[in-house]
């Protein structure tokens, strides 16, 4: 293993695994705490669900993952978080990065959530989402990690007792040598975390080269694109072509959507226009979950002989607010996640093996319900979302999509990609 990665959520882990695979690394994703020996891979991404749990728990889980990765030969550790730097003043990016630095006996790392392919860029330490600052984007309304400050140097400074600094774009664009000397300068001034500007992939490649000797790199999935080349130069990573195709699992395909993000709502509308679709009635769900789940499973099975189906809880913001007011935000979320997980389990017991899941938390619930411990990563379906195949028996073909990823026809494209 060359790179050992710790991701703070499931779809983020898949996103990073996708990036590394596309850059020629054989990559495996492990769900939750790893056990046993890792297979022969270049990179392992351990998917935690640690983004919004208490900081001390995120630290403990991340340290356990780091120790396992180091014990099994990882030469560099990568801590992956969201490209919109999802966090609060309590953490968890700062506390986890500090703990990992201590564990690795190091005192400097970078923080670079840029992902230009999906419109996340950093300039003068400020994070942009498309054409607007992070604090003007829909992330300001995020239920768990509302982002009101776009200046990442300041955001991170509130999460760590150590000094934070910036490597600005005028340095980044000069290339790896200039960036590495900026790192040395920051370190000499006692700075432990450097936000690094990046507005295009060339910047990320320069940054990748400059971090070759760092024990810990932190960022979104974009900042990983420069890492494989460091290992190739050292003769540790052969040139590989595309990932080998995933083994087919066959049978009907089901789309499960528990995301109400803007991109998902468009995708749900497009899928509904083509294929049978069933909305999960949250009020009915609250009255008799088991009956509703059984009904939906039977409905899906009756259609799957001839075409794929969509099952969704996704709703417009005012409908979501109404449900949250009635049942409580977290309770409503958990109730829907549990129902979608139970539907997935019911369908799996009836032999369904192909699932497209929309929503980070929803994907976590489904993958756990199916008892999946690891994923093999295949070709990219859309930026940030690869086709995957579960390890163990039975094998499932899965596409796990974070809410705001994918174009209008993502669901149909994903079903096509999952053989």
Paired sense of beta strands 385-390 and 126-129, if any: unpaired
Torsion sign over Cα 19, 24, 29, 33: negative
Residue 406 near ligand ADP by CB under 6 A: no
Among 362, 382, 388, 390, binds ligand ADP (CB under 6 A): 362
Does position 121 interact with ligand ADP (CB under 6 A)? The reply is: no
Q: How far apart are CA 26 and CA 274, in angstroms?
A: 36
Beta carbon nearer to ligand ADP, 125 or 383: 383
For ligand ADP, the binding residue among 7, 17, 167, 315 (CB under 6 A) is 315
- The length of the chain, given as a count of residues: 419
As given in the structure block, the two tokens for residue 15 are: 């996103």
Positions 197 through 226 that interact with ligand ADP (CB under 6 A): none
Minimum distance of ligand ADP from residue 301's CB (angstroms): 23
Cα–Cα distances in angstroms (integers) from residue 380 to residues 142, 164, 252, 261, 387, in the given order: 27, 35, 21, 21, 6
153, 216, 224, 323: which one contacts ligand ADP (CB under 6 A)?
323
CA separation for the pair 396, 40 (Å, rounded): 21
End-to-end CA separation in angstroms for the chain: 28
285 contributes a contact to ligand ADP by CB under 6 A:
no
Say how many CA atoms lie within 13 Å of 171 toward its Cβ: 21
Rank residues 359 and 386 by Cβ distance to ligand ADP and give the closer one. Answer: 359
CA 396 vs. chain centroid, Å, equals 19
- The sign of the dihedral angle between the CA atoms of 190, 195, 196, 201 is positive
Cα–Cα distances (Å) from 271 to 41, 82, 237, in that order, read 36, 27, 41
Residue 54 C-beta: closest distance to ligand ADP, Å: 19
Based on the shown chain and the rule CB under 6 A, indicate whether residue 62 belongs to the binding site for ligand ADP: no
Residue in 86, 337, 376, 413 binding ligand ADP, rule: CB under 6 A: 337
Minimum CB–partner distance for residue 364 and ligand ADP (Å): 8
| Rounded-to-integer distance, Cα 247 and Cα 69, Å | 27
Q: Name the minimum Å distance from CB 194 to ligand ADP.
A: 29
Q: What sign results for the dihedral spanned by CA atoms 123, 128, 132, 137?
A: negative
Does the footprint of ligand ADP cover residue 360 (CB under 6 A)?
yes
Query: With binding defined as CB under 6 A, does residue 324 bind ligand ADP?
Result: yes
The SS3 of residue 226 is helix
Residue whose tokens read 């899906």: 300
User: Which parts of 386-405 interact with ligand ADP (CB under 6 A)?
Assistant: 402-403
Nearest residue (beta carbon) to ligand ADP = 403
Interaction of residue 336 with ligand ADP, rule CB under 6 A: yes
Residue nearer to ligand ADP on the CB measure, 258 or 374: 258
Q: Which is nearer to ligand ADP, 309 or 323 (CB)?
A: 323
Least distance in angstroms from the C-beta of 353 to ligand ADP: 22
Could you list the residues that contact ligand ADP (CB under 6 A)?
258-261, 264, 282, 313-315, 319-320, 323-324, 332-333, 336-337, 359-362, 402-403
């Amino acid at each position: 293993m060359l790179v050992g990665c710790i991701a703070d959520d499931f779809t983020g882990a898949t996103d990073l695994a996708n990036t590394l695979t596309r850059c020629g690394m054989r990559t495996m994703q492990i769900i939750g705490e790893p056990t046993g020996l890792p297979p022969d891979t270049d990179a392992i991404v351990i998917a935690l669900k640690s983004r919004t749990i208490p900081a001390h728990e995120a630290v403990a889980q991340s340290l356990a993952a780091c120790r396992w990765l180091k014990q099994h030969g990882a030469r560099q550790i990568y801590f992956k978080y969201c490209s919109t730097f999802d966090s609060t003043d309590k953490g968890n990016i700062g506390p986890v990065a500090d703990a990992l630095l201590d564990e690795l006996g190091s005192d400097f790392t970078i923080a670079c959530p840029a992902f230009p392919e999906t419109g996340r860029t950093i300039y003068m330490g400020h994070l942009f989402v498309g054409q607007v600052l992070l604090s003007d984007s829909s992330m300001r309304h995020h239920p768990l990690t509302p982002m009101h400050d776009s200046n990442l140097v300041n955001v991170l400074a509130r999460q760590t007792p150590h000094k934070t600094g910036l490597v600005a774009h005028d340095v980044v664009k000069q290339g790896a040598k200039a960036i590495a000397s900026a790192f040395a300068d920051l370190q000499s001034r006692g700075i432990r975390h450097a936000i690094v500007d990046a507005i295009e992939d060339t910047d990320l490649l320069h940054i990748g080269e400059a971090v070759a000797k760092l024990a810990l790199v932190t960022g979104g999935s974009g900042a990983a694109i420069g890492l494989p080349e460091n290992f190739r130069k050292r003769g540790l990573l052969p040139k590989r072509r595309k990932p080998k195709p995933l083994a087919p699992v066959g049978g009907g395909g089901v789309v499960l959507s528990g995301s109400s993000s803007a991109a998902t709502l468009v995708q749900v509308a497009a899928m509904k226009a083509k294929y049978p679709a069933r909305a999960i009635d949250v009020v009915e769900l609250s009255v008799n979950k088991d009956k509703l789940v059984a009904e939906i499973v039977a409905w899906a099975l009756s259609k799957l002989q001839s075409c794929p189906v969509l099952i969704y809880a996704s709703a417009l913001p005012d409908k979501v607010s109404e449900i949250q007011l009635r049942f409580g935000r977290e309770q409503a979320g958990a109730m829907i996640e549990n129902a979608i997980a139970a539907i997935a389990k019911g369908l799996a017991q009836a032999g369904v093996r192909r699932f497209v899941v929309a929503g980070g938390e929803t994907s976590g619930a489904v993958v756990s319900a199916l008892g999946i411990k690891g994923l093999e990563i295949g070709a990219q379906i859309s930026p940030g979302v690869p086709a995957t195949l579960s390890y163990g028996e039975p094998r499932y073909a899965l596409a796990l999509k974070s809410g705001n990823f994918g174009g209008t026809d993502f669901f149909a494209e994903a079903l096509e990609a999952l053989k």
